Amino acid sequence: MLSEPSSPTLLTHRKREAILQAAISEFRAHGFAGTSMDRVAAVAEVSKRTVYNHFPSKDELFAAILTQLWQRAQGLLAVAYDPQQPLRTQLLECLEQKMRLLNDSSFLDLSRVAIAEMMQSPQRAQAMVARLAEKEEGLVTWIRAAQLDQRLRAGVDPQYAADQLQGMVKSFAFWPQLALGQPPLEAAQQQRVLADCVDMFLGFYAARA
């Protein structure tokens, strides 16, 4: 039986989460350049020393938030491949989760901050992309499993196929909202976009009998 975390460990974890949540709030409101470690400490109600103990620099803190964003996005796509279920059903389940995230205002706000900062600092962007690329996301794993089961075309890079599918969805439910300030899609629009994107994807990639 696993023991409960010790009080110091639990307290440390809570402080780290408080710092991350405070930083998310500050980055959303003020961007990268306008956010200070002093302000993050004040909002988190911890000492500045505590902030630096967890995150040695603002860059490290920002990177931790971006990693959390990425994990949140990719964790939703961790739908296990089921050889007994229709491909369309599984893909819709997977992408419906992603759609909920893309419609989350905090996710969009932080994405704006992240993209703006990465444009200002290409080196930071390259380092972050390299770190995230070390982990394979769930949709890629799902596509590979469907290929091995001979239900999707073989000889296609699963990452390439996953990027195509997610790119289609984001062209309606992420980029217009992020770059043009368009409102989130209504529920009926979401369902139409997802259905059309999945049908187009399977129309091209589904294995022929």
User: What does the domain layout of the chain look like in residue ranges?
Assistant: 1-56, 64-205
The residue with greater pLDDT, 75 or 141, is: 141
Backbone angles phi, psi at 65, to 5 degrees: -70, -40
Task: List the structure tokens of 109.
Answer: 């706000």
Q: Can you give the pLDDT at residue 165?
A: 96
1 pLDDT exceeds 50?
A: no
Q: Residue 73: enclosing H or E segment and its boundaries?
A: helix 58-75
Instruction: Give dist(CA 144, CA 124) in Å, integer.
Output: 31
Structure confidence at residue 91 as a pLDDT band (50, 70, 90): very high
Q: Which of 187, 185, 128, 136 is nearest to 163 (CA)?
A: 136
Pick the CATH number of 1-56 from 1.10.1660.10, 3.50.50.60, 3.40.50.720, 1.10.10.60: 1.10.10.60
Counting residues of the chain whose pLDDT is more than 90, the rounded percentage is 55
Q: Can you give the pLDDT at residue 109?
A: 78
Q: Can you give the pLDDT at residue 87?
A: 98
Q: Of 35-44, 74-83, 177-186, where does the model show the most confidence?
A: 35-44
Average of pLDDT values for 56-72? 84
Q: Can you give the pLDDT at residue 102?
A: 86
Among 65-69, 76-80, 175-179, where is mean pLDDT lowest?
76-80
Annotation: CATH topology of 64-205: Tetracycline Repressor; domain 2 (1.10.357)
